[in-house]
Amino acid sequence: MRPGQNLLLILPFDVFPPDNGGKQTGYHMIPALAKYYQVTVLQFQGLDEIYNCIGSDEAFREVKFLNANHEYAEPRDIFRFFPKKIKDAARFRYHARSLRLSASSHVLSYIGILPRLLKRNHFDFIITETNSDTLIYRTVKKYSPHTRLVFQNHNVDTDLAWADLKNNKITHSAYRQILSLESSLYKNTDHVLAVSQQDADRLNELNKNKLKVQVIQTGIPLQKYPAAKGLGQDMAGNILFCGSLDYQPNYEGLLWFYRNCWKKIVSAFPRLKLTVVGSGDPHGSLAKIFEDGSVDFKGRVKEVYPYYDAAAVVVVPLLSGSGIRLKILEAMSMGVPIVSTRKGAEGIRHTNGENILLADEADDFARLVISLLNDKNKRRALSEAGRKTIQEYYDWPVIGQRIFKILSGLN
């Protein structure tokens, strides 16, 4: 930890226990940053629950957690005299400098917390995790002008929202709000950390090439003991799809794989099972898939390792989306070989044929899965190369050091 370097990490979601990909990212990022900074985490989870999860873990020993609900104090502004609904809307729009945006309860909480918090503490950096949370920028600069506000991007929300708009999942008004927030990052941040070069370029485009942005990929811990059961089978019995079905790219990707690839694969391996792990209820066209006896839907699980351990191959048949595919990194960390579309592998360091196999056409995708199921040696080679990729580029100590170097450059 560097003396005098203080960092406030604002998390609008719970991270304890770390039982899904998003939570795991926050969970591992905290101690990675704590190696270089005195870290304070502002979040909404109960402190007793957090400390019960942490226990005696030394990695969190010097991290300070604050509960936003306990820290909140009503701002002493003119809006406090208004009825609550009007007060919240007016206060939010004043700080957002926009009449269009709907009020965010998290941002309203931070507006009541940050003035006192920034008066009591000096923070060199504040890291936020959502587009809307960057609206605290003016408040931060008012009370602590030298603090750098850094936004950690995980997806290009505008592009995801556009896909949802086309599928009638959101309104035009909701889409315009997301676009407005994301295209104003250059005014509401000092720096942006994007998870891929593609996302960095797109965000810069949305911000008229005025954005200060660098790429820092999502990290994942290297699994101490790689998965071995499915990897070593002469007659493979299981392949795995892992991802939330509430996420549209996962939904459409799994549907595409089942309709266009699965029958070809299972005709070559009649006893093969497709295991689907991830939150979300199968609905619409997906509901019919799980009536197929060769498909085993597990839903949300407490521990994913047994499913990776049983799998000979992981499939990532994504056709859309942005950000970085944490499930590919997870599979590499576990040492399970992967067949993916190029879109699925976007933003990840990879060499086709070395640490991953790629195909965009259904026939080619099915052929690669079948070839891996028939070749135990190739599966092992991909497994070893994938784990080496994680160790060199994505293990959290590596990511923590990269973040530290980037933030040091901002000074």
Terminal-residue alpha carbon distance, the chain: 17
Residues 207 and 337 in one domain: no
Q: What length does the chain have?
A: 411
Q: Name the residue type at position 227.
A: A
C-alpha R_g of the chain: 23
Residue with tokens 């008004």: 173
Q: Which amino acid is at 337?
A: P
282 and 359 housed in the same domain: yes
Taking the C-alpha atoms of residue 106 and residue 44, their distance in angstroms, rounded to an integer, is 9
Same domain, 359 and 384: yes
Q: For the chain, how many structural domains are there in total? A: 2
Token pair recorded at residue 4? 């005098």
Please give the Cα distance from 157 to 275 (Å, whole number).
29
Whether residues 201 and 280 share a domain: the answer is no
What is the sign, positive or negative, of the torsion defined by CA atoms of 158, 43, 142, 216?
Answer: negative
Reported pTM: 0.84
CA dihedral 76, 81, 83, 84 (to 10 degrees): 10
User: What is the H or E stretch that residue 143 is in?
Assistant: helix 137-143
Structure tokens at 165: 């708009």
Domain membership of residue 158 as a residue range: 6-219+395-410
pLDDT value for 4:
61
What pLDDT does residue 56 have?
Answer: 86
Between helices 172-182 and 197-206, what is the axis angle to 10°? Answer: 100
d(CA 268, CA 279): 29
DSSP class per residue in 56-89: T-GGGTT-EEEEHHHH-----SGGGGS-HHHHHH
**Cβ proximity of 326 and 366 under 8 Å:** no
Q: Considering the domain boundaries, does residue 224 fall inside one? A: no
pLDDT score recorded for residue 1: 46
Residue 230 within any structural domain of the chain: no
Write down the residue that tokens 């996420």 correspond to.
Answer: 247
Residues 130 and 275 in one domain: no
User: What pLDDT sits at residue 42?
Assistant: 97
Whether 96 is covered by a domain: the verdict is yes
- How many C-beta atoms lie closer than 10 Å to residue 99's C-beta? 8
Q: Is residue 227 part of a domain?
A: no
Asked whether residue 48 falls in the same domain as residue 138, the answer is yes
Neighbours of 225 (CB within 10 A): 9
Q: Which of 28, 2, 3 is nearest to 11 (CA)?
A: 28
- How many whole angstroms separate alpha carbon 266 and alpha carbon 263? 5
Identify whether residues 287 and 357 lie together within a single domain: yes
Residue 229 lies in a domain: no
Would you call the peptide bond into 249 cis, given omega within 30 degrees of 0 as the criterion?
no
| Residue 133, amino acid | D
Domain with residue 313: its CATH number is 3.40.50.2000
Query: Which amino acid appears at position 370 of this protein?
Result: I
The answer to whether residues 282 and 349 belong to one domain is: yes
**Domain shared by 212 and 244, yes or no:** no
Examine residue 136 and state whether it is found in any structural domain, yes or no: yes
Q: Tell me what pLDDT residue 13 has.
A: 87
The answer to whether residues 321 and 399 belong to one domain is: no
Residues 331 and 402 in one domain: no
Amino acid at 39: V
Cite the beta strand spans of 28-155 per DSSP E.
38-43, 64-67, 125-128, 148-152
Whether residue 69 sits in one domain with residue 197: yes
Residue 32 φ/ψ, nearest 5 degrees: -65, -40
Q: Is residue 126 domain-resident?
A: yes
Is residue 1 one of the residues assigned to a domain?
A: no
Per-residue pLDDT of the chain (411 residues; tens, 9 = 90+): 455 699 999 999 888 888 777 788 889 999 999 999 999 999 999 999 999 999 888 989 999 999 999 999 999 899 999 999 999 999 999 888 888 888 899 999 999 999 999 999 999 999 999 999 999 999 999 999 999 999 999 889 999 899 889 989 899 999 999 999 999 999 999 999 998 899 999 999 999 999 999 999 888 888 887 888 888 888 889 999 999 888 888 999 999 999 999 999 999 999 999 999 988 877 777 888 888 999 999 998 888 999 999 999 999 999 987 656 788 999 999 999 999 999 999 889 999 999 999 999 999 999 999 999 999 999 999 999 999 999 999 999 999 999 999 999 986
Distance CA 30, CA 127 (A): 11
What pLDDT, on a 0 to 100 scale, did the predictor assign at position 281? 77
